Amino acid sequence: MKRRPLALVVFLLLSLSAALGQSGGELRFYLHSDPKTFDPLLVADDASETIRYLTGGVLVRVNRRTQQAEPELAASWKIARDGRSITFDLRERVYYSDGTPFSAADVAATVQRLMDPALHSPTADSFRSGAGAVRTHVDSPARITIAFPAPVAGLDKLFDQVAIVSSRSANKQRAALGPFYVADYKPDSYVLLKRNPNYWRRDAAGRQLPYLDSVRLGIQPNRDIEMMNFRRGDIDLINWLDSEYFDRLAKQSPSLVHDAGPGLDSEQMWFNQVPNAPIPAYKRAWFRSTNFRRAVSAAVNRADLSRVVYGGHAQPAVGPISSANKFWFNAKLHAPAYDPSGALRLLQQDGFRLQGASLRDREGHAVEFSIITNAGNKPRERMATMIQQDLAKVGITVHVVTLDFASLIERITESYNYEGALLGMVNMDLDPNAQMNLWLSSAENHQWNPRQKLPETAWEAEIDRLMKEQAASLEPARRKTCFDRVQEIAVEQQPFIYLVNKNALSAVAATVANASPVVLRPQTYWNIETLSVGVQTAGKR
Amino acid sequence: MRYLRKSAWLFLVLVALASLGAGFWAPADYATQFREAPNSPPSHQHLLGTDEVGRDRFSRVLYGTRVSLLMAPAAALLSTLLATLVGGVAGYLGGWWERAAMAATDLFLSMPWLFLLLAVRAMLPLNIAPITSVAVTFLLLGLLGWAASARVLCAGARGLRDSDFVLQARASGLRGLRLLAIHVMPNLKPVLLAQFWISIPVFIISEANLGILGLGVEEPLPSWGSLLRELESFTSFGFEAWKLVPLGLLILVVSSFQIILSRDEVYA
Amino acid sequence: MPKIVRRLATMAAVVLVGGLLSATLVRLAPGFDVDEQQLDARLSSESVATLRRARAHDRNIAGFYLHYLGRALRGDLGESRTLNRPVRKLLAERLPVTARLAGFGLLVGWLCAVLLALGATMTRRVACDLAATVLGGIFLSLPAAVLALLFVFANAPAYLVIALVVFPKVFSYTRNLLAKSYNLPHLLTAYAKGVGRLQVLIWHVLPVAGAQLLAVAGISVSIALGAAIPVEALCGIAGIGQLAWQAALGRDLPLLVNLTVLVTVITLAANWGSEFAGQSFRTSEA
């Protein structure tokens, strides 16, 4: 009898420590494929990106909530006035997970390797502002200056993606400076991360972070299984939820799901404007007409797309930047209003006319085109079907063709044998420089008409000029003015007909303490250091 | 037994009539989207509820039956004929013919035909009429679906080749195609019927799966296959029995075909 | 002996042709030399060009195939271009998984099919046959993807899905073949003479339908392997089926050629095994 109160106190203390998020435990969630690389400098896929985020130590971290750069391994930094170099003052007495000390030499080696053209690192491309080599100068073990051949806009935030690799460790890729290190990897099965015993950061009470003992990343490509295993309590979080799953889960356990609001990613459609594309000349003429694109844009009911396809967990998209991007979004712009009669008026200005229920161009061709999208993506298939019906109201016949991803990429990047396409854009980065290869008319990803030798239209020439100007400027206000104008042109010209910005939907088990999902990736575990997993409750959620 | 067979016939005729008169019975067009009521349960207005973009499911089942009930048996017939031609004839002729045909069949069974379908889709224009897309898809399914039963047919024909009654027929001067048609083929009927029966639902489902390659039924035209795809999601598991109606209909139609086809064996 | 040698030579020829044909099919399919990463807006034109060059490496199919055969003879099956891992290792890890899945699936599927077909034909009761037919119809009409999801949902073993895919097909052939044999005129004489059901089955029915039933056994291996693709992909099982699906989506030429060669060998072995058994069956009967 006497033991009972003591047991109760122990239980309460344990519960309290779990509730305060300081009890460790193992966090479990899924990667949707095997990581393609453990080399943090070669990361290109989501799974490898997750490993990098959890194990890599970076000089500067973009706070996923405030969207501001914060000191990490660099206690402070300074960008030179000409924007060509950055000097970091590093934290001292920091050690890799294998015990080797961290110093400026590691940063120098990492940057040199990253910028080596032979490495073809996707991360490095963001730093390439001009021809020439990147130089590093180690001023002291705790101070380094990195000089670029040309000014790099938004330079400090770019270091959020650069995990500093040890130059002295025996197994360089496994020696971690981040909160965890890779302890085990079984292909097709799991990646086990364990707490980095030498992690430098401490919480306000002086306790070493992270709280978690380990993170088990199961490899599970199937999202249905992910959802079921979350409900069974086999995993603790789902970083990105489909709206259908979200609603289903919300009905059963509303406290476990989180809608953080519109995310950075957009869904959009565009028309093929490539001059030598194998499509009829009269169709190319439609697609190159601003009025035609604006009319199609006005005939699409974006509010319906958000409500029906995403169950309300999406917002009509305005332009290239989502309202979630606090600094760069041009708040003066609004999503094009749904206006079929306005669309018809615009079409009439270009000589189109309604003949019965069918729209005809000046030469009498019935207005009919196909939209390709990737098969298996249900929201996109549904959006295409709804757009098909929206456009039928203005007399346009749309054929929806779903293709496997490789066939689709081949059509939009190699053969240009398509008319319209519906795809999404994943925005990993807040800075518009990340979209440079989308907006420059000479770029590969200028999808409606890529690889132009000279800009073919005046508005594309203006975008080219503005994008280059903002990239060369170091004044945030000047850069913002330039990019605001780019957004305006994008809305006026509609080269991409932006449809919706999906909300960032996630699910986190009640046993996970301190979770606070945000819209930026990685939405649920951005604050991994302070997460902890308490007592597991059995049974269904 | 006749009663059962008649019931099966009657059911198939009713389903065919219902689908042919879809324009008359269907409460809505198969493409009309009632966007204010997506994913709604059955109601007076929508007997089987609506799909994810608010289209009347009952109307879509009626129209979808037209496509699938016509095309799938036609493709099944094509694959059965090809199986007979390759398996039956090779088994009957024997020797070098048989070895070559069966090696080719084994090769055919092992090939990643997905890539041929991808190439075919690449050669077709993107703006083809939905019905042409369906027809091409079922034609491809018919052309690719014969190999497995060709092997079984070959084994059957091989046995018949050396059987007493074929030897007697040969001795009495019966040769070539006549011998094949009168004595060999009727004895291969069990396998042919099985091939035909299996192919119908398999082709109906495959047609929907080929949507991933840009083949199959194009939106907004419905087919049983595309209606069954609604079930291929964890979110569809619930107490939403009305979503199972297309599946139930397919099961009943497939069973009716079997009852009609297998009359000689069991229901005689 | 020469017959076996001839068979093995044919097998080698079929496998070689199979490998070449599959390589050609993959090469001709759209999307062969593109990479999903090309759509990454962060990549510079130079990086995209590098990605293109890496993919264009295997464009010459004859060159690729000869190179592949040369390496394969030395035991090197190449490297998967989507998973960045040696194909030999991938196959070694995943083949046992699929073998177990397909093996158990075939066993259970055949057991159900044969028992049901025997029940339907031996009893000669319409109700029995009707019930079996409808059951077969149900599993034929249920897409493998739905079955797989249901089994994942119920936490049931995935080989049962393979079994349920194999079952209606085997049942259909078996039932029809048995029914045909049971309807032969000399069976009526046997029954009239008072021969027992089991003896009729062993002495009169199986000898007639045996060779074809064995052929069904051969092709059911192909059916099970085909079913393993959606089942493994949907149940999240790391076997050959899932690998094949990933390889197809990524146009992974080295992996696909190896997988085709593997599937061709299994198909040939299964079908020729059943053919051989069928011949021995007939010989022993004679």
**Domains of chain C, first to last:** 2-73 (no CATH), 90-249 (1.10.3720.10)
| Cβ atoms of A237 and A524 closer than 8 Å | yes
Count of alpha carbons within 13 Å of A72, Cβ hemisphere only? 25
- In 3D space, the residue among C209, C213, C13 whose CA is nearest the CA of residue C113 turns out to be C213
Q: Is pLDDT above 60 for A422?
A: yes
Residue % of chain C over a pLDDT of 70 = 98
pLDDT of A134: 92
| Cβ atoms of A256 and A524 closer than 8 Å | no
pLDDT of C281: 64
Degrees to nearest 5, angle at CA A468 with A467 and A472? 120
State the alpha helices, DSSP H only, in A417-475.
Answer: 436-439, 458-472
pLDDT of B238: 65
Q: Which chain A residues are within 8 Å of B33, Cβ to Cβ?
A: 308, 385-386, 389
Q: Is pLDDT above 90 for A511?
A: yes
Q: Is pLDDT above 90 for C172?
A: no
Burial of A4 (0-12, 13-18, 19+ CB in 10 A): exposed
Query: CA–CA separation, A438 vs A496, rounded Å?
Result: 11
Global pTM? 0.88
| Cβ atoms of A188 and C97 closer than 8 Å | no
CA distance C243 to chain A (A): 10
> What is the enclosing helix (H) or strand (E) of A501?
strand A496-508
Tokens 């089955």 belong to residue = C201
Query: CA–CA separation, A362 vs A348, rounded Å?
Result: 9
Count of C-beta atoms within a 10 Å radius of residue A368: 15
CA distance B162 to chain A (A): 50
Handedness of CA A346, A347, A351, A356 (dihedral sign): negative
pLDDT of A121: 86
Q: Is pLDDT above 50 for A476?
A: yes
Query: CA–CA separation, A185 vs A192, rounded Å?
Result: 6
ipTM field: 0.87
What's the alpha-carbon Rg for chain C, to the nearest Å?
A: 24
Q: Which chain B residues are within 8 Å of C256, Cβ to Cβ?
A: 112
Burial C95-126 (b: 16+ CB within 10 A, else e): eebbeebbebbbebbbebbbebbbebbbeeee
| Cβ atoms of A323 and A418 closer than 8 Å | no
What's the alpha-carbon Rg for chain A, to the nearest Å?
A: 26
Degrees to nearest 5, angle at CA A406 with A400 and A410? 80
Q: Highest mean pLDDT range out of B25-29, B223-227, C103-107?
A: C103-107
Q: What's the pLDDT band for B173 if we cut at 50, 70, 90?
A: confident
- Name which of A16-20, A137-141, B212-216, B233-237 the model is least confident about: A16-20
Q: Is pLDDT above 50 for A404?
A: yes
CA dihedral of B71, B73, B79, B81, whole degrees rounded to 10: -120
Closest residue, chain B, to C223 (C-alpha): B148
- In 3D space, the residue among A410, C65, A371 whose CA is nearest the CA of residue B119 turns out to be A410
Residue % of chain A over a pLDDT of 90 = 75
Tokens 């040696």 belong to residue = C86
Per residue in C176-234, pLDDT tens? Answer: 888 878 777 777 777 777 777 777 777 777 877 888 888 889 999 999 999 999 899 88
Q: Is pLDDT above 80 for A185?
A: yes
Q: What's the pLDDT band for A165 if we cut at 50, 70, 90?
A: very high
Query: Could you say which residues from 265 to 304 on chain A have a Cβ atom under 8 Å away from some Cβ of chain B?
Result: 304
Q: Is pLDDT above 60 for C262?
A: yes
pLDDT of A223: 87
Do A125 and C41 count as a contact with CB atoms less than 8 A apart?
A: no
Q: Is pLDDT above 80 for C123?
A: no
- DSSP-derived pairing of the beta strands A397-403 and A368-374: parallel
Count of alpha carbons within 13 Å of B25, Cβ hemisphere only? 16
| Cβ atoms of A400 and A384 closer than 8 Å | yes
Mutate to test the interface with B, among A369, A378, A402 (most CBs of B within 10 A): A402
- More confidently predicted of A354 and B217: A354
Q: Is pLDDT above 80 for A212?
A: yes
- More confidently predicted of C215 and B264: C215
In this complex, the residue of A368, A399, A402 whose CB is nearest that of residue B212 is A402
Q: Is pLDDT above 90 for A346?
A: yes
> In the structure encoding, which two tokens stand for residue A341, read together?
């009669």
Does B127 reach chain C within 8 Å, measured CB to CB?
A: no
Conformational region of residue A539, where left means phi above 0, alpha means psi within -120 to 50, and beta covers everything else? left
Residue % of chain B over a pLDDT of 70 = 94
Count of C-beta atoms within a 10 Å radius of residue A273: 25
Do B211 and A402 count as a contact with CB atoms less than 8 A apart?
A: yes
List Cβ neighbours of A515 (8 Å cut-off, separation of 6 or more): A237, A508, A524, A525, A527, A531
Degrees to nearest 5, angle at CA A197 with A21 and A29? 50
Do A401 and B214 count as a contact with CB atoms less than 8 A apart?
A: yes
Count of C-beta atoms within a 10 Å radius of residue B164: 7
Q: Is pLDDT above 50 for A101?
A: yes
Q: What's the pLDDT band for A21 if we cut at 50, 70, 90?
A: very low
Main-chain dihedrals φ then ψ at residue A137, nearest 5 degrees:
-130, 115
Q: Is pLDDT above 80 for B180?
A: no
- Side chain identity, residue A305: L
Per residue in A142-151, pLDDT tens? Answer: 999 999 998 8
> In the structure encoding, which two tokens stand for residue C168, read together?
């209606």
> In the structure encoding, which two tokens stand for residue B57, read together?
């499911």
In this complex, the residue of A399, A407, A419 whose CB is nearest that of residue B122 is A407
Query: CA–CA separation, A463 vs B107, rounded Å?
Result: 55
In this complex, the residue of A384, A385, A418 whose CB is nearest that of residue B126 is A418
Average confidence score pLDDT of chain C:
85
- DSSP-derived pairing of the beta strands A420-425 and A368-374: parallel
- Chains in contact with C, where contact requires at least 3 CB pairs less than 8 Å apart: A, B
Q: Which residues are paired to A397 by β-bridges?
A: A368
User: B2-21+56-267: which CATH architecture?
Assistant: Orthogonal Bundle (1.10)
Query: Could you say which residues from 157 to 216 on chain C have a Cβ atom under 8 Å away from some Cβ of chain A?
Result: none
Do A308 and B52 count as a contact with CB atoms less than 8 A apart?
A: yes
Query: Could you say which residues from 75 to 134 on chain A have a Cβ atom under 8 Å away from some Cβ of chain C?
Result: 117, 120, 122-123, 125-126, 128
Query: CA–CA separation, B101 vs B97, rounded Å?
Result: 6
Q: What's the pLDDT band for A5 if we cut at 50, 70, 90?
A: low
Query: Could you say which residues from 419 to 478 on chain A have a Cβ atom under 8 Å away from some Cβ of chain B?
Result: 419
Do A405 and C153 count as a contact with CB atoms less than 8 A apart?
A: no
| Cβ atoms of A26 and A533 closer than 8 Å | yes
Q: Is pLDDT above 80 for A174?
A: no
Domain map (residue ranges) of chain B: 2-21+56-267
Handedness of CA C147, C151, C154, C159 (dihedral sign): positive
Q: What's the pLDDT band for B266 if we cut at 50, 70, 90?
A: very low
Angle between helices C253-285 and C87-123 (to 10 degrees): 40
Q: Is pLDDT above 80 for B102?
A: yes
Q: What's the pLDDT band for B104 if we cut at 50, 70, 90?
A: very high
Q: Which chain A residues are within 8 Å of C35, Cβ to Cβ?
A: 409
